[in-house]
Amino acid sequence: MGYAGKKDELKEKDPLYALRHSAAHITAQAIRRLYPQVRLGIGPPIEDGFYYDIDLDQKLTDEDLPSIEKEIKKIVKENHKFEQSFMPKAEAREFFEKRGEQFKLEIIDGIEDDEVSIFTDGDFVDLCEGPHVESTRKAPAIKLLSVAGAYWRGDEKNAQLQRIYGTAFPSKQELHDHLHRLEEAKRRDHRKIGKELGLFSFEDVAGPGVVFFHPKGAFIRSLIEDDIKRRHLENGYQFVQTPHLFKTDLWEMSGHLEHYKENMFLFEDDDQAYGLKPMNCPGHILIYKSRLRSYRELPMRLFELGTVYRNEKSGVLHGLLRVRGFTQDDGHLFLREDQLVEEVGKAVDFAFDILKVYGFSDFEIELSTRPDDSIGSDEIWEKAESSLRQALEDRNLNFQIHEGDGAFYGPKIDLKIRDAIGRSWQCGTIQCDFALPERFDLKYQGEDGNLHRPIMVHRALLGSVERFFGVLLEHYAGALPVWLAPVQTVVIPIGDKAMDYAQEVTEQLNQQGVRVELDVRSDRMQAKIRDAQLQKVPYMIIVGEKEAEAKTVSVRHRRDGDLGSIALTEFVTKVAQENTDRVLDLQQ
């Protein structure tokens, strides 16, 4: 249904757009046959599928989808042609009013043209711009996935409808492969893994979108943050720390109050307005501005693991991937103009180096240009965009241009990674900014003794620590590499007679820096092994009287199974080497 709103970018870049648009129509057609009293909303294609919103007195569940799919197959087999026609607005309004289609009437009223586009296939007529495939038979592989609630046009003030999600592919084999990927994604869902492994939780009493990291989760997070800090020091960054809230005067100076207010948490105290910081950049700017800088101090690279707060709508919150309070690995570079291309290039290289350590090697790069809602002159935007482009071209990197998707203060480079099952995730971003240094009147004293304006680069290489944590869990299906595992090995004694040796082994491993737990429960050995594997522990050490006498350990790997009996010192060396080498383990 093509009258859903602003220009649909998916229509331009998705080769399956017409197919999935047609699948949405066929789905609505099947629902109308089964439930003649239904009132139809919209049914656009989306990434990897489509949906159709309906208003129906009967509440549908996932158990109702097979009967709708059965009707879909009939419609596909009937091979109705998709035929477009045009109707004057008044006539179209009368047509849909007779059918009780109140949502179609609202859409018609919002169309500026004198005529509206109608598509017909068999007994089904819908208000639509297209495009569609030639006939219903050209959509042979349609699968309905779920039923959810949705507000009409995404506005919680409007009526709540039922949304039928589905997907479609040119062949049944492609559909089968996609459904397999969906099942794999479900198995890897970080929310499920986080709960099973006791890593983090969300507590209703604390409010939506705020994360509680439990001991193991907090430990993993600290490993990531410590690694990131070390790498930034090695790359010439200086650590800073800034407050969590500022007076709104500062947000007005930065432009956030004008351009980002709806995403901010604002409050008043003693007649003074404050805002929790949605970004760290103004704080870093004030540190730079605390005294006059010399050209010899540039580039000045500031870094903060800075926690920010954004008032995301509750409907878009999603585990660790979309939260209201999160920590960015946030850096800001203050540069001379002649340093810009080089420093942007170094930031790109730095991002690649970090992401590869965590097991990501397949990247997508996007260069986003000036949006309609922006600050700064045409001249500085042109300089900024050309500099980012040159940094990428100097490295022979392939990238896509995304017109109008830049930040309000400058163009940006976005780095996306592909995970173990081929999904794309937004991580790093590098943003060039000529505007904020001007708004804050930033200066440095040049070699000529005169004052000059620095250029500012915003960059976050992981993006959000919380989001990156979630992506990591899904990438590895919870089985994190040894160096990131909160518990690297579990010692499992066989019987009470082996307990003393098991405690000795545990103490030696602990002294050598191996993260170890001793399982002293009275359960059977196989049950303990199963539990350790469910907890994704990389290694299990089984010790009995035989191992105690020989001073060895029997080692079992979570994926490879029994590794045999080896000397304890040899095992410690193995784990230590995996820690040092950051060995990856993607076969999960």
Instruction: Catalogue the active-site residues.
Output: 281, 310, 328, 330, 332, 412, 458
Half-sphere exposure of 328 (CA within 13 A, CB side): 27
* Tokens read off for 229: 């800090």
DSSP at 263: G
Find the helix packing angle between 465-475 and 215-234, rounded to 10°: 110
Phi, psi (degrees; rounded to nearest 5) at 545:
-65, -35
Show the CA angle centred on residue 277, arms to residues 257 and 189, nearest 5°. Answer: 115
* Tokens read off for 537: 């522990």
Measuring CA to CA, how many Å separate 231 from each of 344, 354, 456?
Answer: 17, 8, 21
Residue 234: its H or E element: helix 215-234
Phi, psi (degrees; rounded to nearest 5) at 479:
-85, 75
Residue at token pair 């609202």: 106
Task: State how far the Cα of 216 lies from the Cα of 412, in Å rounded to an integer.
Answer: 35
Closest CA to 60 of 167, 142, 147: 147
Task: State how far the Cα of 461 lies from the Cα of 229, in Å rounded to an integer.
Answer: 12
Q: Look at strands 124-127 and 115-121 and give their pairing.
A: antiparallel
Half-sphere exposure of 439 (CA within 13 A, CB side): 21
* Tokens read off for 215: 């001991």
Closest CA to 326 of 469, 494, 129: 469
Residue 253 CA, distance from chain mean position: 30
* Tokens read off for 337: 């103009």
Task: State how far the Cα of 331 lies from the Cα of 335, in Å rounded to an integer.
Answer: 13
Task: State how far the Cα of 278 lies from the Cα of 284, in Å rounded to an integer.
Answer: 13
Residue 384: its H or E element: helix 378-394
